[in-house]
Every structure is written in structure tokens, then in C-alpha cells.
Chains A and B, each alone.
Chain A
Amino acid sequence: MERRKLVSAALVLTLLGALLFMPPIASVFQIRRLVLGVPAEVIYLFLVWVLLVVGAWWLSTRLPRDGEDEG
């Protein structure tokens, strides 16, 4: 992916994470039901969290290095 798209992807990932952690989307998973023996909203939050970690790792290896950036 080219540089600008990567930076956009980083922004989108951050904003998406913020959206997914907040109501109303987070409230959707408050269904008072267990998933794998654990309340669904707990599974959901940790799942998003893991995805953010993986996404951040993926981007961190690809975002341009020092010296090749201008803003």
C-alpha cells in the first residue's frame, strides 16, 4: 500500500476502535447472554482490543520510517 493510504488506514483504525468501544455500538453486545461462558460484552471488548493490537502491529511495520516523511 502506498504511504498516504497507510496513514489513512492508521487514522481509520484508531477512529474505528474509538467507535467500537463507545455506545451505541458497544451497547449492542449487552445481550445478557454468555459466550464461551463469559458475558458477551466482555468477549466483544477484548476481541476488539485484540484486533486493534494486531492492526497496530501490522501498520507499525509498514508505516514509513524516519526520514521518508513530511507530514
Chain B
Amino acid sequence: MLSADLVIATGIAYVGLLFLIAYVSDRRARKTQSSFLRSPFVYTLAISVYCTSWTFYGAVGSAARNGLEYLAIYLGPTLVFVGWWFILRRLVRISHNQRITSIADLLSSRFGKSSRLAVLVTVIAVIGIAPYIALQLKAVTSSIQAIAGARAFNEGTLRGVDDVGLAFGVAAGMALFTVLFGTRNVDAKEQHHGVVAAIAFEAVVKLAALLAVGLFVVFAGGGFEAIFSRAEAAGLDIYSTGTFDDRWIAMNVLSIAAIICLPRQFQITVVENSDENHLRTAAWAFPAYLLLMSLFTLPIALYGLTTMPAGANPDMFVLTLPLAANQDGLALFAFIGGFSSATSMIIVESIALSIMVSNHIVMPIVLRFTQGQGVGDGRGVSRLLLASRRFSIALILSLGFGYFYLTRDSNALAPIGLISFCGVAQFLPAIIAALFWKDASLKAATAAVAVGFVLWAWSSFMPSFESASPVVAQLMAEGPWGIGWLRPEALFGLEGIDPLANAVFWSLFLNTATLVAVSLFSSQSALERVQATLFVDIFRRPVAAGTLIRGSATADDLRFVAQRVLGIERATALFESAGADGSEPTPQFIDHLERELAGSIGAASAHVMLSKVVAGGAVSLEEVLQMADETQQAIEYSQQLERTSAELRDTARKLEEANRQLRELDSQKDEFLSQVSHEVRTPMTSIRSFSEILLGEQRLEKAERQKFIAIIHKESLRLTKLLDQILDLNALERGKAGWRNVPTDAEAVLDQAVEVCTALARQRQMRLVADKRATGISIDADADRLSQVLINLISNAIKYNDAPDPVVEVRSRRSRRHYIIEVLDNGPGIGRDERTLVFEKFARGAAGTATAPGAGLGLAISRQIVSHMDGKLELVPTRGRGACFRITLPLSETATV
């Protein structure tokens, strides 16, 4: 026969077993690095701390009252784990890199290692979790009472103890248990292998117990179908009409938020994670676990409703159904299962919260009052941390008990849990922003969390005291000062929706809106920007060693700090592995040390602590960033200088080139001038001497006189021609004014030029070939000038050709838009160094200087003429002997034949 004494004794024995498991696992974990304890399945089972007595007892009650609704609590986490790649993986990676110890630490670290935000988050978490702890106390109390109340003689020593006394006993026992269990040492990385192993064991126990009860019920009820049909026959609505409404959506949102934001889930999923790849297994195994946990909930609820007497508490069906069937063994197993789910939740939750309280509230206060120095001997901080954690655990459980005491009149378990869910859900917008949005600022996150907290406290937390306080009841009915739209369950006049949906919607909506709006209108500090990049770009680059603290700390100072936080052993190991003994510590080492410390006391406290020690020659982050900026500017400036100097070099090179050309031209000009004077002087001399003869000698014969006059005439013609050419060139150079291009048959002009030159060629026994020709060409040109150019080119080719079998070839063709004439010869060609010069004024080819007459202006004139017809005249390289001049002229647009 079960009695209250027996179940209490069983409970204590069970706790003893947990101790043993934790102790053995801790020792094994310390000895062997890779053991069963670090397997992904242990990790997954530990995550199942999500299933508390709410799941074990409360889900059945929820199903009995509201049908399928209880499932929403498990579907949200299922989605989060199925999508582990996107959020959980980031959280785990970031937390490993940054040595994150809690959810408060995560937010504080991301938003510039702010202590203030960490305090806010911690306070909200502690208050928000109180109802959840109360739920566990209530469930354990009710379960003991259910057994005690089943038969009169079961009460045993509990006779005369009311539920408040019993709950107090449970709370005190739990506090003692958790203190002994979870705060034996301060681990460097806040990983508790023993605790995790015990939690995993409890997960197996509660699943087995619930499945056992479920199978028993299905067996007793004659199968699923029979249970459902009998429930329908008993007048129950087995269909969940109207389940998928606003409340369903709100609960799904809450459970999504809870699996990420609940301090204990964060502790197990993120902080206790020893290998990122464990998430892979948890991704499907945890949803499967949840599925198994909820498989029999509905049948148990319906079977309980049909078979138990009216008024029986549906929250306790899991326990009372076996009791009613006199299955005492099964009932005891069910009690152990429920006890498991409550203890595991309380242990992990209070460990997680106590870490937050000691790291973010106690440590900063101690640091402030001691200036980071006199905390006693070398182990002072460790001892202080342990003491503050123990104190926090007691505080958390007493808050839970206080909440239980105030709300002891309300019945159902699930609604209490939802209040906590809604409270911690206020962290979700900030966390999502922390992971994905670099511009989210500290001010925004603080404001958002605060706004969400206030709305939650008003619309969700406060209403739970309705039955305990008439003031609250009046507020709920009429609103403060009679302002109707401030009523907690119909905020801002939003009536007619479920109170939970109302609270969830307004708190999360205004929370998110604040986060976005303030982020957009506020700026980030340098440290915030650095941390934001580290968080958001976690997968994009290897985490750079941020040399955030620099300065002239001695290794001794640092070692002193490290010993106080990490303990002598770990500190020594750390310093030895880094080789930082004696020598000046590098910024990298200080950064490394900061992260190690953060693993124990949180990012904000570690940062403050090290900043104090390293102060002195310390360079603030702003200064570091500014230095980086200045360096960047210097680099840019020098790049600019380099560009300028390259430009200058280029200009100088061009100038040099131009100068060289000028000089060459100058010397050409000198040469030409001397030649011109020679050219001019020769005819002038002959003109002068012949005219002197004509003047002085009267007795010349007529024929002789005629001859002399002819010479004078010829020489003066030569002079005139030379002067004409100079004038012509001068006019051409002055510009296009007076120049008129008209549509011209280019081939006809070419024919004419060839004809003119044929005589010259024949005179020199030369072949003039002109058979490769284009046809029907019309260009815009001045026919006479073009003819002049062609004659000049062809006659040049003839004049300078000294080949034994001289040939000059003229050919023309058309390309797509151009008409091309080429004049080739097999003469001496033009040297490479003369190619650019031949077109200059007063220039003549080396070969031509001696033999041929002319002033060297022909090509210069020709080039000017061609350019006036929008074409170009160039010397193209040839294979073998000879030169090739090419004229390229645009085809007439108006008259394409």
C-alpha cells in the first residue's frame, strides 16, 4: 500500500541515486575525454529538461480542459530544432567563441558587454521564472497529496500538514538539493557533466513513466478507438473545434521563444554543449522525444474524464488513474516520473539563474566596491561566486514559493507555465536581433526588453494574482483609474481575443517595435560595433583576436586576477600554456584571458575586471579604433601621393618625348633652313649671275641671251613654287575655313591622278600598276585637292624608287564605312626612325635628300588635306622592300551606291 511517507522516502532515495549518478559521471568525465557522457544522445536527453511536471501532469489537465491545445507547447520547440541550422547553431558557435555563460551574458556581450543590460535581463528572468518554479512545487505537492488523499490511512506523517506547509517543505528540500548538487565547484566553462548526466537519466525516467501510464490507460481503455468513442458516448467533445485560433498561434509563438530563451534551455542547449555536431542528433531526436511524451496525453485525459468521478483534478490523472485501478507500483513509478521532471527543471533552472545572478549582479557590485583588488586571498572570487550562487538558488526557490503561496487558489498547472513563457519570450526579439542585425544597439535592446517586461508584468503576470488580491481584481475589471483601454486583458481596447494572445501580441509587438525604432535612431559605441560584427558574422571569418585591452599590465597582476577567478591550478595551466610567465603579456594573451574569465564570471564582469588591472598605460577601444582610422587615412594619403607621383612621372615622360620631338624638328628645321637657303641661293645665284651677264655683256648672241633668260625664268619658277607650297601649307594649317567637301566620285579622281603620273613613270622606265580597284565609290571630298594628294604620293613613289625593276602599285578598296587607297612601291622604303617624321614639315627621307628635288613639304600638305576630308594618311608597315602609304576616307553617307 502506498503512503505519503513511502513516496517521500522514495523521493529522497531517488535524489540519492541522482547524486550518485552525478558524482560518478563527474569523475568519469574528468578522467576520460570521450565517453558515453559526451554522446549526442545524452545531450538530447538533457535538453528534454524542457518537459517538466507541466508536461508530465499539466499537459493531461490542459488536454482535459482545452483539447489539443497542449500540443502547441511541443510544436514550437520542434520547429526550432528542425531549423537548428539557423538559430541554435549560431547561438552555440557564438557562445563557444565568446565563452557565454547564460542568456543574460549573451545579450550583454553582444550589446557592448553592458552590465546594465545583463542586470535587467537577470532580474526579468528571475521574476519571470518564479511562476514556473511555483508550478513545479505545486505539481510535486499535489502529487504527494494525491497519493496521501487517495485513502485515509495513506497520510502518515503528513496528517495535519496543509499544502502550503508541504510546498514549503518541498521548496526547502529542493533548494538544499540544488545547492549540494549544482554548486560544488565553479567550472571554467560552466559545464556541469555530472548534472547533465543526472538530467539525462531523469529524462529517461520521466519518459518511461509517462509511456508506462499511457500504455496502461490504452490497455485499460481497450485501445485508442475505444477510448475516443467512449468519451464521445459520455458526452465529451472529442473534436478540438476552434483549437486553431489566436490562442493556438500565441502558444506556438511562446513555445518557440521559450525553447530558446528559457535560462535552463539556454544552459543545456548552448552552454553545456560540448560539440556543435550534437545539435545534428538533437535536431530530430528531441522532437521525437517530445512526440513520445505527448503521444498518450489525449487518451489519458479522455479516459480520466470518462472514468474518474466528476471534480477530480485532471492535472493529476497520470497519478490517480493507476491509483484508482490499484496499480500501486505503476502509481509509484508515475510519481517518480513526475518528481523527476520537477527536480530536473528546478535543478537546471536554478543553476542557470544563479549563474546569472552571481555573474551579473553580485560580481559587478563586488568589483565596484573593491576596485577589483582586495577580495581576500587567492581563492576569494571563487568562494564568493559559490556563496552568491547558493544564495541565489535559495532566493529563486523562495520567490517560487512566494508565488505559489499567493496564487495557491488557482487550479490548473499549464496557465502558470504560460505566464513564465511569456515573460522570457521578451528576450526573443533582442536575441534574434543580436544574431542577425548588426545595427541593433544597446539602448534599443535595453528599451525593448524593458518595454516587453512592463507589458508582460501588466497583462500576464499581474492578472495571475486576481484571486489573491482584490486590488488586482478591480484593476482587471475596470482598468486603472477606470481607464478601460488599460485593462490588462483587453489592452489598448483590443477586446474579444484570448487574454494570453492579448498579452503575447502586445508585449512582443511593442517590444520588437521599440527595438527596431530605437536602433534606427541611436548610435552604437565602438565596443558594440566590434561585438555586433563578431556575433552576426560568426560564420564568415575566423574570430579575430580583438586586441581590446592594451597596456602595461605585468604578468603578475594578471596572474593574481586569474587565480582569484579561475583558481590557482587553472590559472597556472593557462599561463604556462601561453608561455606568458614573467614576460610582458601580449594583447592577444590578455584577450584570451578575458574570454577565459568571461567563462566564469560573464563577459561584462571580466571586461571590467581586466580593464581595471590593465589600466595605467591602457588604450581605450575608442583610441584603438581611432588609431586604426588614422592608419587607414595615412594609407589612403600615401596611395594618393603614389597616384599623383605616377601621374607626374607620366607627364614628365610625355614632356620628354615632346621635347625630343621638338629638338628633332628643330634640327630638321635647321637642316631644312640651310637647305632652303641653299635651294634658294642656287637659283638666286644663277639668276643674279645670268642677269649680271645679260646686263654687262652687250655682245651676246641672241640664242645665248634667250638661253640665259630661260634659265632665269626657270629658276624663278622654282622659287615661286617653293614659296607657293609654304603658303599653301600655311593656309591649310590655319583651319578648315573656306574648305568645302562635296560628294565626289573618288575612283574618277584616282584614274585622273594615275593618268597624270603615267607619263612620269614611263619617262623613268617604271611600271605603274593600278588594276586592283574598288568601284562606285562616293566620298565627301574636294576633288582637286584629293588629286593633288594622290599625284604627290604617286610621284614620290616614282621619284624615290631606285630598284632595278621598279614597280609602283596603286590600289583601292572599300571597307564597311571607309574607302581606302594604297600606294605601294618597291623602293628603298622608309626607315623606322623616320616614320613619324616624314609627315612633318621640311622633312625628307634620307634617301631623298641627296637626289630628289623638292622642299619636303608635299607629305605634310597631303596629310593636312586628307585630314580636312575627315580621313587619315598614314605609312603602313610592309613586308619586304618598299613603302606603303594608305589614305583612309569615310564613305559618303548620303550617297552610298
User: Known interface pairs A14-B83, A30-B239. Does A56 touch B245 (Cβ–Cβ under 8 Å)?
Assistant: no
Most chain A CB inside 10 Å of its own CB: which residue of B240, B244, B539: B244
B79 and A21 contact, CB distance less than 8 A? yes
Q: Which residues from A are CB-within-8-Å of B751?
A: none
Bound form: Cα–Cα A21–B252 in Å? 9
Bound form: Cα–Cα A30–B280 in Å? 34
Does B276 have its Cβ within 8 Å of any Cβ on chain A? yes
Q: Which residues from B are CB-within-8-Å of A21?
A: 75, 79, 252
Bound form: Cα–Cα A56–B240 in Å? 28
Name the residue of chain A whose CB is nearest to the CB of B248: A23
B238 and A10 contact, CB distance less than 8 A? no
Name the one of B241, B243, B287 contacting A56, with C-beta atoms under 8 angstroms.
B287
A63 and B85 contact, CB distance less than 8 A? yes
Name the one of B86, B243, B244, B287 contacting A11, with C-beta atoms under 8 angstroms.
B86
Does B210 have its Cβ within 8 Å of any Cβ on chain A? no
B68 and A14 contact, CB distance less than 8 A? no
B284 and A57 contact, CB distance less than 8 A? yes
A39 and B82 contact, CB distance less than 8 A? no
A69 and B79 contact, CB distance less than 8 A? no
Main secondary structure of the interface of B (DSSP, over half): helix
Name the residue of chain A whose CB is nearest to the CB of B276: A66
Map CB proximity to A onto B66-95 as digits: 1 under 8 Å, 0 otherwise: 001001000100110111111000000000
A-binding segment of B223-231, B397-405, B848-856 = B223-231
Name the one of A39, A45, A61 contacting B239, with C-beta atoms under 8 angstroms.
A39
User: Known interface pairs A23-B245, A53-B284, A71-B540. Does A41 touch B82 (Cβ–Cβ under 8 Å)?
Assistant: no
Name the residue of chain B whose CB is nearest to the CB of A30: B241
Tally of chain A residues near chain B (CB < 8 A)? 40
A41 and B298 contact, CB distance less than 8 A? no
A65 to chain B, nearest CB (A): 7
Name the residue of chain B whose CB is nearest to the CB of A65: B277
Map CB proximity to A onto B228-268 as digits: 1 under 8 Å, 0 otherwise: 11000000001111011100110010000000000000000
Q: Which of B848-871 contact A (CB under 8 A)?
A: none
Q: Which residues from B are CB-within-8-Å of A45?
A: 68, 71, 75
A23 and B244 contact, CB distance less than 8 A? yes
Q: Which residues from A are CB-within-8-Å of B245?
A: 23
A22 and B298 contact, CB distance less than 8 A? no
Q: Which residues from A are CB-within-8-Å of B284?
A: 53-54, 56-57, 60
Q: Which of A5-51 contact B (CB under 8 A)?
A: 7, 10-11, 13-14, 17-18, 21-23, 26-27, 30, 32, 34, 36-39, 41-42, 45-46, 49-50
Name the residue of chain B whose CB is nearest to the CB of A25: B244
Map CB proximity to A onto B280-314 as digits: 1 under 8 Å, 0 otherwise: 11011001100100010010000000000000000
B82 and A42 contact, CB distance less than 8 A? no
Bound form: Cα–Cα A52–B83 in Å? 10
Bound form: Cα–Cα A68–B566 in Å? 34
Q: Which residues from A are CB-within-8-Å of B81?
A: 56
B291 and A53 contact, CB distance less than 8 A? yes
B137 to chain A, nearest CB (A): 31
Does A2 have its Cβ within 8 Å of any Cβ on chain B? no
A4 to chain B, nearest CB (A): 12
Top 5 closest A-B pairs, CB basis? A37-B225, A14-B83, A57-B284, A56-B284, A71-B539
24 contacts between A and B (CB under 8 A): A10-B86, A21-B252, A23-B248, A23-B249, A26-B244, A27-B244, A30-B243, A34-B225, A34-B228, A36-B224, A38-B224, A39-B239, A41-B68, A42-B240, A49-B287, A53-B284, A56-B82, A56-B84, A57-B283, A60-B280, A61-B280, A70-B540, A71-B537, A71-B540
